[in-house]
Amino acid sequence: MSFNKFKLINLLTIPMVILLATGCGSNAYVKEVIPSDGICELDANGCPIDPNDPDCTGDYSHCKPDIVPPNPNPDPDPVPPNPDPNPNPKPDPDPKPDPEKPVIPNGMVIDTRNPVEFILSVCDESFNPPLTVLGTIDNGNNKIVVPLHYTVAGESARLNAYVKTVKLDPSLSQEGEANVFLKFVWNEQDVGSSGYIYANVIVDDSAGNNDGAFKVKCGLADRNYYGIPLAIFDYPVTTLDYSQFTIKVTSYVISDDGGQIWLPVVSPKTGSVWLNNNLNADYITVGNPYFDPHKQAETTKDIHAYGGLYQWGRRADGHQLITYPDEATGVAVNGTTEDKADNPTGSLFIKSEGDWRVKPDQGLWKGLDAKNRVCPKKFRLADDNEWKAEYDGRGALGWTWLPPSFLKLSATGIRRGTTALVYGSGHEAHYWTSTIFNTNLANTLFFNYYEDDSYTHQYRKADGNPVRCRMDNKFL
């Protein structure tokens, strides 16, 4: 949602008598419509249109000096002011910011994507082992950082600092902590023609537990994958318009009944629901030392978010398992074979110039009833159009996160079907779609650190690529 906050403020500053006379739906701030003497005509800023109008006797101190009307009853013998005893005063050591100074400079636009951050806080005994995750926001490892993409009509600009503070409801605290404030902050900075600024969410509980952390109450939004709002921050995106960043709490988790647990994330652009991590990522694998289903990739090179590299249309039979000693190196867990098979009985990666199967089949990963379904219940692979609806191909050379940033896609690399070797980890990724290109090729969403675009591209079905699942529309 984008709205014009300054227009709202201007409307609220209109003298009440005018609103009562004309109704809120009229241009009440332009002209008093009751024909009578004593009319003071005001502009959109609540200032006199005619600075010499003797009927304008209200308080117009908020108006610019050149349009403040004269006092209709001036003192006939004004007392001259005392001379300034200090003609060269020192500046105020703590000057107050100019309230009329816009945060966003002219020509700068921040994307109005209404980003959302989900906090998982769940206590569920039905899992084995029982799942207990207390969602935490703090100023350390669980700090929330919001990347905001911008463009500038020119080579550079100066962005002013911004702070928005909200008070948290103590009933949402696991500890019943009161007097906790969250601040959405970015610093004053120089910006180029395009790029990202980073807003930090800072916990201020100096009047509470004073530990810089807020623990979210367990089970607040049970079975509600859209979550409930914890905090909503307005932030400027142009000189006049505002957008919103929302932090939501959810207790809804998704399980594949095979040792993987995900958190749903909702697209701020389309409202669609996706898994928050790739299949087989360390963060969603029960028993993994890095298991934390709330967590997403901290950077595009986060190896614990990489996950498995699947041959298109193949079951999760172990062929997809990869370990990553570092961000640029992927090592297969299992071996390889050159024998094609329609129904592989082992976990060997099948090397091929095209398809890993003897007989191609376009329905292996298509829809909820896919023959070789790898996504959890209610989820499936997205097709080309569903991926395109989430990203816009925007330039992002040297990205932190290429859109769609809410998915926190990681640069897993690709496992070549011809050699079974993994390459490109840390600087590129090719996410499988359900869309077939031809007998041997299927489409992926491709992005690369060294290119300034994201787009669909075709790869061999025998290649190994990451999988991210989307909820089917029938459940939205």
Confidence of residue 58 (pLDDT cuts 50, 70, 90): low
- 15 pLDDT more than 50: no
Mean pLDDT taken over the chain? 79
The pLDDT score that the predictor gives to residue 36 is 35
Residue with tokens 């919103």: 244
Measure CA 463 to chain center.
31
- 2 pLDDT more than 50: no
Q: 3-class SS at 43?
A: coil
The pLDDT score that the predictor gives to residue 436 is 94
416-431 mean pLDDT: 95
Q: What percentage of residues in the chain have a pLDDT greater than 70?
A: 73
DSSP states of 17-52: HHHHHH-TTS-TTT---S--SS---B-TTS-BSSTT
Q: Any idea where the domains of the chain sit in the sequence?
A: 1-72, 108-252, 303-475
Assess contact for 341 and 350: CB atoms under 8 A: yes
Q: Which of 45-54, 55-64, 69-78 has the highest mean pLDDT?
A: 45-54
> Amino acid identity of 39?
I
> Amino acid identity of 86?
N
Q: Which two tokens stand for residue 225?
A: 């994958």
The pLDDT score that the predictor gives to residue 98 is 36
Span of 213-222, 352-361, 400-409, 456-465 with lowest mean pLDDT: 400-409
> Amino acid identity of 84?
D
Q: Which of 32-46, 47-61, 66-80 has the highest mean pLDDT?
A: 47-61
The pLDDT score that the predictor gives to residue 46 is 52
Distance CA(29)–CA(18), nearest Å, equals: 7
131-138 mean pLDDT: 88
Distance CA(366)–CA(436), nearest Å, equals: 9
> What torsion do the CA atoms of 217, 219, 221, 222 make, to the nearest 10 degrees?
180
Q: Hey, which bits of 153-260 come out as E strands?
A: 157-159, 162-167, 181-186, 189-191, 194-204, 213-215, 228-236, 241-250, 254-255
Higher pLDDT, residue 317 or 408: 317
Higher pLDDT, residue 43 or 362: 362
307-320 mean pLDDT: 98
- 155 pLDDT more than 70: yes
The pLDDT score that the predictor gives to residue 354 is 97
Confidence of residue 446 (pLDDT cuts 50, 70, 90): confident
- 7 pLDDT more than 60: no
Span of 94-98, 144-148, 429-433 with lowest mean pLDDT: 94-98
- 223 pLDDT more than 90: no
